[in-house]
Structures are given as structure tokens and as C-alpha cells.
Amino acid sequence: MSTDITTLAAQARNEFGKGASRRLRVAGRVPAVIYASHQEPIHVSLDRLELTAAVRKHGSNALLSVDAEGEDHLVLIKAIDQNVLTLEIDHIDLLAVNRNETVDVDVHVIVSGEPAPGVEYIQDADTITIEANVLNIPEELTAVLDGKEIGDQILASDIALPEGTTLVSDADLLVVNFIAPENNAAEADAAAASATEAPAEEAAAESAE
């Protein structure tokens, strides 16, 4: 979690449409819209390299300061459109906030540690939703796997949250599930099938006699 706020210089945008957006991208800029309550959206453009660096540094929940021709806007990333081939940012929507505001955000969940020997895991949820002050949004949350056994689960309520944040996702949301290795499970199924077949074969042999 970081309260380091990157400032980006914005230029006003007066032309719209695909052609205008294409010209901005060719010039190395990204079309952007700042949304705020009780006022019209603000259309600007941002330097692509500066914006990309800020997103890489702070993540998709980056808190940014956008200087739109002398007027500062504290913003969170609302949505990012990326080029499907180059993955460059084609367009970004920003949400204006204030420093005392609390918001609901989806935060990426990473895993750390190792489960017990012979145990595999499946991560069922990549993000969980929390409520946090805009200055207290974690870049990621951690699911700790250490010592987990087959049949164990990590739920959203098991994830440690930073002080001052609360869980919004369902407390019973499955985040990580711990299972037997696939080859072991197959061997167990085969053994069970064999054990079931043996009495049947013996009964058939006895009736034949």
C-alpha cells in the first residue's frame, strides 16, 4: 500500500470520435475522461508513457493526480481499454475523488507459502472487493497457503485486510481450494473401482462352479 501519488499533466480534448482518438494515439497520447459527481465529464488526453509507468507502478487501483490545465483532479482508475494486440492503453476512464472519500474496490489476491506435502491448490478468485479510504487502498492482498491440507479452503473472510478497510465481498467467497494431486486422485479412483470389481468377479466364478 502506498500513498505516493503520481501527477500526470493532461491536455484538454476538444475533438472526439475514432479519427480524433487515433490521431492522439499516433502522437503518443491516450484519450481520457474524468467523471465526477454533479458535473459534466472532463475530456482530456494523457502522455501514454507517463500513464503506463504510473499504472505499472501502482496497479489498476492507482490513485493519481491529473493536472488539467492548472486544475488538479485526484482520481482513481475506473476502466482501462487496452489494444488486444499490443496491450497498450487505448483509452482510460478516471473517477474524481477526494482524500476523505471511502470507495469499494476490487483488489488482486496473490498467494504465498506452500501447502502441506502432496497437496495442490486451485485459486478460484483472483480478486476480492473491499471498502477503503482512497489513500489506504492496498495494491494486493495475500492468501497464505502454509501447512494447508487436502480439503482445506481459504475464504474471503480468511484474508488479512489492512487496518481501516472492510470486506465487501461475501465472507464465504471461495478464494483458494486445496485438493489431492490429479495423479493421486486417479490412482485412488482406480483402486476403488478394482476393489468393487473383485467381489463381483468372485461371485461370478462361484456361480459358474
Residue 207 is predicted with a pLDDT of 54
Please check whether residue 110 is in contact with residue 140, taking contact to mean a CB–CB distance below 8 angstroms. Answer: yes
CA atoms of 64 and 75, how far apart (whole Å): 5
Q: Are 155 and 123 in contact (CB under 8 A)?
A: no
Strand order in the sheet with 174-179: 120-123, 174-179, 153-155
Distance, CA of 140 to CA of 105 (rounded, Å): 11
C-alpha span between 37 and 43 (Å, rounded): 15
Q: Are 55 and 30 a contacting pair, CB within 8 Å?
A: no
Domains along the sequence of the chain with CATH:
6-97 (2.40.240.10), 104-183 (2.170.120.20)
146 dihedral zone (left: phi>0; alpha: psi -120 to 50; beta): beta
Nearest-angstrom CA–CA distance, 103 and 156 = 18
Output the pLDDT for position 69: 77
Q: 90-120 pLDDT, tens per residue?
A: 999 999 999 999 999 999 999 999 999 999 9
Cell 478468485 -> residue = 125
When pLDDT is averaged across residues 160-180 and rounded to a whole number, the result is 96
pLDDT of residue 62: 86
Q: Which pairing describes strands 102-112 and 153-155: parallel, antiparallel, or unpaired?
A: unpaired
* Cell 478394482 sits on residue: 194
Q: Give the integer Cα–Cα distance in Å for 188 and 202.
A: 22
- Percent share of the chain, pLDDT over 70: 86
